[in-house]
Structures are given as structure tokens and as C-alpha cells.
Structure 1
Amino acid sequence: MSMNVLIVRPDGIGDVLLSLPVATQLRRLAPGATIGFLTSPTVAPLLDRHPDVDYVRTIRFTDPFKELRLAFSQGVEAAIFLKPFRRLMWAAWVAGVPIRVATRYRWYSLLANRHIYEHRSEFSKHESEYNVEMLKGLGLSPQPISPPVLTLTEAERVAGAFRWSGLPSPRVVVHPGGISARRWRLEHYRDLVVTLTDKGYGVVLTGSDQERTEFGKELCGSTALPSGVADHMGHLSMRELMSLIANAHVVVSGATGPAHLAAALGIPTVTLFDPRRNNLPVRWKPLGTGVLLRPDVPTCDKCIGKACPYWDCLDRFTVAQVTAAITKVLSQPSPLTVLHI
């Protein structure tokens, strides 16, 4: 197959990472294809120098429609909408992309001309598996999933190692932020950092500038950070975050992008998942090694706040339990284990 194929997934870090198996399988099943990614400017750098991605285009959802249409020009012959964003599907239709692959169950699915009949809302398999199923729209037969892998240059790895200079080992990244997932209480993250440094671990805090503004003062309080902690919240580019994580021994976070980054870089994770149905591990777990913690409460369709008798679901994880999970991961890395606590 000699075709210019654009994979469309312009949202979060984890979403894009779990889309990479589509590019990898497309490279294997159609070696003559040119493979592009349409994603957000924030996430695009993680695709730099990836062997299965030939080019990257970026858009923002707030861009004028003219810009969206241009994203589908310049020789795009097939667009695979891993998530059916209506304006983007409309833009591809207006741009005259010959093959437009999407799921079938929305009214604007008519803007696609090749359909995959699969309800992701059933949460019966992993997001990466749902994604590669979309290759059927190109007449290809999806293969078993290989977890996504990210690439760094030697210079980037050296620069990432330098950010750990002066910190003891083992090295733990603590990422207290996140957008789509519920969060462990900030006091718990603060106490976890203190506990880890008391044990002699080196700790680096990561997060966006927005998360630094939201969490930084509360997390660190009015006192100085303990010895053995470096605060890089709001100071790292995407590639710098990747290089920092690549030099860690474990990454601790909620169900958010850095957990998937760590998995794709071969670094074990300790991940705190909330009990919402749309955050089930069967669909969204990192594809790597480590421990996934999930509160032992009923699965809920959506968070209704303090009216829920399990409102404290994530805060049922104690600092001691999370510390024990970190110790377990450091002492005996193994395929991802799900623990209900």
C-alpha cells in the first residue's frame, strides 16, 4: 500500500501514546505508506524522531476552520479518526480527503466513508486495542498490540541525568497533578515526599505551570523542600520531562500522561486510579511494569461529588500503602499489577 495516511488524535499525552501502536502496525502492514499524526502543539514533541511517524501536524480545537481544513491538505489520502471530533471530520470532508475512517454511531459519522462498528463505551478492551481496530477501515487486519515505545537522543538522556545531579538514589518522580483524573489529596503527596526523603530516596516533583500555580504552595507549604527533593513543576518542556523520567527508577502519579510516558520509556509506575467507569484500568492502564492502585469501592458512572458515600475514594490510599507499592516496584519490577485497596 502506497498511501499518505494521517492519524488524528489531537488531545492528551496518554491518548496520543496509546495511538502509537496504530502507526507501528501501519508501518509493518503497509510498509509503503507515509504516516502522519495530527495532534496538539503541546503533545507533538513526544513524536519527534519516532521511527513509525514520518511527519506531524498540529492544530488547536479553537483554530479557525480554515486552519483545520489545511491540516488535511498537502496530499493526505486517508484520515483515521481515532476519536470522532466533529469539526475535524467536517474539515477532512471539505478538504476532500478520499478515505475517512471513523466509528459509526454518531450522526456526524456520515462525514466518514469507512466505518468501524465498535462501541468503546463498553470498555471491554484496552484503548490501544480499540485504536488499532480502526486499521480495518484501510482493509488491514490488526495484529496483537506491542506497547508504545518512545525514543530519546543520547544528548537528551545525558541532560535528563544531569537534572538528578546531587540527589540520592533510588530516584522517584512524583507528579501530583492531572487533568482528566481525580487526584489524591495534596497533603498526602506532601507527606509522601517527606516519607521518601526520610528513607533516603531522591525525589523530583513534576507538573505543568498551571499545576504549579494550583498545587505548588499547598504542596510545599511555607517551609523549604526537604533535602533530596528538586521541584521542576512548570519548568520542563515535553522532551525535558521525557528525559527526566527516562533517568528515574519509578514514577508516581494519578491516572495521567506521565504514567504513560514512563511506561513507554521503560520506567516502572505506581499509578493511583479513581473508580469511575470511564477510567477503568482495562482500558486506560499504562502498558508497562509497576503497580496500579484502585480503591476497593463500587465503580461509578461519574463523580457526583460529596453526595457520594465513597467521596473519599482516592484518599483511602494511605501514604504508607503508596510507599509500600514504591518499595515493591523498586525491589522486584514485574508486569503491571492491579491492587484494590
Structure 2
Amino acid sequence: MDKSSPVLIISRTDNIGDVVLTLPLCGALLKKYHGAKILFLAKDYVRPILDACEHINSFISWDNLKSLKGNEQVDFLRDIHADAIIHVFPNPEVARLAYKAKIPLRIGTSHRAYHWLYCNKLPSFTRKNSPLHEAQLNFKLAAPLGISSIPSLDELKTAYGLTRIPPLNDKSILDSGKFNLILHPKSRGSAREWDWDNWNHLANLLPAGQFKLFVTGTEEEGKEIRKNLLASHPGITDLTGKFNLSELIAFIASADGLVAASTGPLH
């Protein structure tokens, strides 16, 4: 790309963990194009993650965009005057709209048939059985933008740009004299989960004099958690259903540790 200050749309209309793993790519694009403007197209519920990331200049609501009428959708995208869009998460509707909006550079994996209709750059790689981490594989899509190197896992550790973490409103919930550990047992079916015997065994292993335990999750998950974990461990602080995503981000950042499945909060 010839422009030194391009407007780039990153499209990732799936879930929290996947959005987090795309943030290093956004940082790399800013490093490559110092004056770039990074716009992230995503679902409303993940916006607090993007608001916390220094790599993101602006948020585009997929919920709002898909609620518009057909011509309004195209006009909305065209008025952004984007130079490129990267379909990190393949979404046929987003790909079609970007094509109709005539975004000049439209990048999507060659492994989706509809990308052959709507994209003009088609990097070919497979995620299945790849030795690379998901966050590394995302960089394959940036090859048409001149990014050829893939960061190591060590380099990725400091590449997320989550420097705008909201403050924790009530710090008194934490115990400064103990290790504040969050247990997040459920994943809404997105990952393999420990059974309740393992969670109860872990709670038994942690001395109450050294650890303050919290459990987080949705209110619906809380019903199962109270039945299968808190009934045997009433000393664990139940925070299920108590936090929105911004508040959960602030709480995780303030705690000392987190035990969870491979789900959004862990990412």
C-alpha cells in the first residue's frame, strides 16, 4: 500500500477471546503505517475490550451496521473512506458489503468460496493443524499490506496494547494481605471445561489464610456454580452476574490471578 496514513478496517464479528487475539495484528499495522487509522468492526458486547486497547482508533458496531437497510449499509461503509479491510473472521455479509462499498483492498482467506467473489487479495493458509498460535496466524492475512514477519509467542505477550484499562470502582473487595484469585469455571460451551470435582479439589488445596477466592460468570452460569461449587465452599465470594464486561476487565486487571478454561476472560 502506497499511502503512509491509510484507513484500515479490521473485521472480527465473533467473540471476546478471538477479538483479543487480533489486537497484536492491529499494533503491527500501526507500527508499519505510523499514521494509520485502525477501525475495528465487531459486535457491541466486545466494545469494552477495544476501548481498552491503544491500537484501536475507532469502533464500528456490527449490530448497528446490520440493522440498516441494504443501501444504507453500503453508504455507511463507503463514507468511512477505508483503504483496506481485513476479514480476520470470515463473515459473508461483511465481505459482500465491503465489495459493494468499493473498499479498494479487501483481504480474506482463500479458504472461503465467497471471498473469491468479494475479495481481491486472498492469502492462502490453514489454521487447522497449524503449529502457530491463533494470534500468530492472524498475521498471515496482513501479507498484502507488507507485513511478512510473524511475532514469536514471547513477542506477543507485550503486543496487545491493553493500556486503557478502566479503574476498579470498589477496591475494598480485594484483600491486600492475600493472593486474590478469580475462578471462572464456565465457558458458555466455547472450550473444554474442568468437571466440578476438579474445581472443588482446587478450592480445597488453597489455604484460606493465603488466598481470597472469587468466582465469576454470568447470572445463568451462577445457578450451576452455586449448586456445584459454592454449596461446598461458602467462603468463596460469588460475583456471578455482578459485572458487565468493562467491570470484569477492571477486576481481572486488579486481581492477582485467574483460573479459567480457554475462554474470553482468560484471553
Identify unmatched segments of 5+ residues in structure 1: 261-341
2:186 maps to 1:177: yes
Mapped partners of 1:17, 1:72: distance in 2:
23
Structure 1 residues 76-95: aligned runs within 5 Å: 76-95=82-101
Aligned twin of 2:53: 50
Question: Distance between the aligned counterparts of 2:220 and 2:12, measured in 1?
Answer: 23
- Normalised to the residue count of structure 1, the TM-score between the two structures is 0.67
Aligned partners of 1:25 and 1:142 also within 8 Å: no
Percent identical pairs in the alignment equals 28
2:237 equivalent to 1:249: no
The alpha-carbon deviation at position 202 of structure 1 amounts to: 0.3
Instruction: From the superposition, tell whether residues 63 and 170 of structure 1 become closer, same or farther in structure 2 (CA, over 3 Å).
Output: same
Give the letter aligned to residue 214 of structure 2.
Answer: V
Q: Is the 8 A contact 1:100 1:112 kept in 2?
A: yes
Give the Cα separation in 1 of the matches to 2:49 and 2:75: 23
Are 1:59 and 2:62 matched, yes or no? yes
1:122-162 deviation digits (Å, cap 9, x = unpaired):
32211111111211122333452532241245x705x3633
Is contact 2:83–2:104 with CA below 8 Å preserved after alignment? yes
Q: What is the match of residue 6 of structure 1?
A: 9
SS of 1:251's partner is strand
Displacement, 1:197? Answer: 5.0
| Amino acid aligned to 1:170 | F
> Cα deviations across residues 260-300 of structure 1 (Å, max 9, x unaligned)?
1xxxxxxxxxxxxxxxxxxxxxxxxxxxxxxxxxxxxxxxx
Q: Distance in 1 between matches of 2:149 and 2:10?
A: 15
Question: 1:103·1:116 contact (CA, 8 Å) conserved in 2?
Answer: yes
Opposite residue 12 of structure 2, the aligned amino acid is R
RMSD: 2.5
Provide the secondary structure at the position in 2 that maps to 1:93. Answer: helix
Residue 231 of structure 2 is aligned to residue 225 of structure 1: no
**Structural mapping, 1:108-123, within 5 Å:** 108-110=114-116, 111-123=118-130
Contact 1:160 1:244 in 2 (8 A): no
2:105 aligned residue: 99
SS in 1 for 2:60: strand
Mark the CA change 1:138 to 1:55 in structure 2 (over 3 Å): closer, same or farther: same
Structure 1 residue 151 and structure 2 residue 163: aligned?
yes
**What per-residue deviation string (whole Å, max 9, x for no partner) do you get for residues 86-129 of structure 1?**
12111211222221101112210111111101111232211111
Counterparts in 2 of 1:211 and 1:72: CA distance versus 1, 3 Å: farther
SS in 2 for 1:189: helix
1:239 aligned partner, one-letter code: S
**TM-aligned CA distance change 1:103 to 1:65, over 3 Å:** farther
